[in-house]
Chains A and B, each alone.
Chain A
Amino acid sequence: MLHVENLVCRYGKIEAVSGISLDVGEGQIVALVGANGAGKSSTIQSIAGHVLGAEGRITLAGEDITALPPRERVRKGVAIAPEGRRLFRDLTVHENLSMGGFCRPREREAANLKRVLDLFPRLAERIHSRAENLSGGEQQMVTIGRAMMSEPRLLLIDELSLGLMPKNVDLCYEAILRLKREGLSILVVEQNTTKALQVADHAYVLSSGRLIWKGTAAEARDDPSVIQAYIGSSAH
């Protein structure tokens, strides 16, 4: 579904990502792990089109989307649940979800909304609450739900479990497993390596902007020293 080739991402003179290549197959969950500052978020934001001047080649289902702006990538089927959630804090849950589907015909909104509320039933109870009044877990659900409203083929999730209570982390991971079973391709950036490897099919490990290990999640799970050796204490 997604093929990234030689991705380079710079902020001024600092090179945050140095020639990373990765693949996400159809209906797969791929984990992108690494310590703080490894370049995980820059990678995922470059794929979403949020980083100006990123170099390399990004294709979605064989179509080159490298030069497309973020909104065109959303139309093509790339959606992001960004780090820090970045919800529209003055808008209600319903309005936030509605914005996620802005690029789709309005007549499909009700069906997409139903799908999201099936995925996160708790949001139905909070549908008229303002986003800024939600708990961290609920905000993360809205963030994923908002991305799902755009009918993606590829879902990018940046720091899925960051700042969430364990119960909410489990809820969010159950949700992405369900989405995977429905055929969605998911690239998840995580510092909670253990949790990410439990659900992922493949894993990539980044360090200082470079790809230092890749393989199946099972390989990493079977031999935790593989990941521990690369990212040490941040793996938990």
Chain B
Amino acid sequence: MKLIWELALQGLLNGCIYALIAVGLVMVYGLLRVLHIAHAGLFTLGAYVSLVVTNATGSLALALACSVITVGLSGIAIYRFCYEPILSRPPYVVLIVSIGLFIMMEEIFRIVFGPYGLSYLKPPLQERFTILGTGITAAELSVVLITIVLFATLDAFNRFTRIGIASRATVSDPQMASSFGVDIRLIRDMTFFIGSAFAAVAGTMVGVLNNLVEPTMGSVPSYKALAIIVLGGMGSIRGALASALFLGLIEAFGTTYLGTLLDRDAIAFTVLLVVLMLRPAGLTGKKT
């Protein structure tokens, strides 16, 4: 029983990280119908900013704030300078640009920070707690709590604020939303900022959990997050959250019970294939 609880906790932790990364992809896809691969580069940027600021100041909270702002603004810059000018082109053009951006960002990280991983001088959030007989670090607990708070806040923002409702209306029909006075550009800027800020938080927490930040750390999460948004029904934030947690749990249990047959990523993608064969519209069944 203890093993199951530990695996569930590990799955929940993985799922939370995946959800934080995937939400930005989901938001951008919903708004522009663009697969924003460069989002994974923003995740890595968030990790680097937090590590550099924490090592310089000793404050993870300050580092997280700097990371969110820097990465959020970088997300807006990517939209304004790289995507907006080519939105009228076929979707694959934007996709190619996004992939190119991601590769470029990885190379910039390699040039600026070196090819090897960097670590926190004094790793934060390492205190240990025991919950239901299972040891958990403050970093792991923080990931779960931060995910709950951020998703609850995002949901409330989208449902109860005028600008949040306008954002959802823009996803549904941009021309009609614009004709009622919604500033579409502002909505897109806001979407890129929020989505990128979530990636910054995810990057920071992965860096803290592993005490390692490296140029290629965005590669695996990028294709895993793509799998999650497909599984979640493309464009659905709640669907992405559900599928991220589902995938996290599948990986945790699968690695323990099937680890001798398949590795973690193979398990995740095998399950993805099976689910999509059974439910082509994803777990939530939401049509695109």
The interface residues of chain A lying within 8 Å CB-to-CB of B90 are: none
Give the shortest distance, in Å, between B143 (CB) and chain A (any CB). 29
Cβ–Cβ < 8 Å partners of A102 in chain B = 162, 166, 180-182
Partner of A88, one of B162, B169, B178, B181: B169
Residues of B within 8 A of A49 (CB): 179
Chain B proximity mask over A45-79: 1 for CB below 8 Å, otherwise 0 = 00011100000000000000000001100110000
Q: Which residues from chain B contact A98 at a C-beta distance below 8 Å?
A: 162, 165
Say whether, besides A98-B165, A99-B165, A99-B166, A90 and B179 are in contact (CB < 8 Å).
no
Report the separation of the CA atoms of residues A50 and B177 in the bound assembly, to the nearest whole angstrom.
Answer: 12
Between B173, B177, B179, the greatest number of chain A beta carbons within 10 A of the residue's beta carbon is seen for B179
Query: Which A residues are in CB contact (< 8 Å) with B162?
Result: 98, 102, 106
Interface residues of B in 234-272 (CB under 8 A from A): none
A-B contact count (CB 8 A): 56
Contacts A88-B172, A90-B171, A91-B168 given; does A99 touch B177 at CB 8 Å: yes
| Complex contact A88–B176 (CB within 8 A) | yes
A88 CA to B172 CA, complexed, in Å: 5
Instruction: Decide if B172 touches A74 in the complex (CB within 8 Å).
Output: no
Q: Given the known A-B contacts A90-B168, A98-B165, A106-B162, are A50 and B180 also in contact in the complex, defined by CB atoms under 8 Å? A: no
Which one of B175, B176, B177, B180 has the highest number of Cβ atoms from chain A below 10 Å of its Cβ?
Answer: B180
Assign chain A's interface to a size class: 20 to 34
User: Are B169 and A74 within 8 A (Cβ)?
Assistant: no
The chain A residues found within 8 Å of chain B, CB to CB, are 48-50, 70-71, 74-75, 80, 82, 86, 88-91, 95-96, 98-100, 102-103, 106, 146, 150
Residues of chain B touching chain A, judged by Cβ–Cβ distance below 8 Å, are: 162, 165-166, 168-169, 171-173, 175-182
**Beyond A71-B178, A71-B179, A98-B162, 13 additional pairs, beta carbon < 8 A:** A71-B181, A74-B179, A74-B181, A75-B181, A91-B169, A95-B168, A98-B165, A99-B169, A99-B180, A102-B166, A102-B181, A102-B182, A103-B181
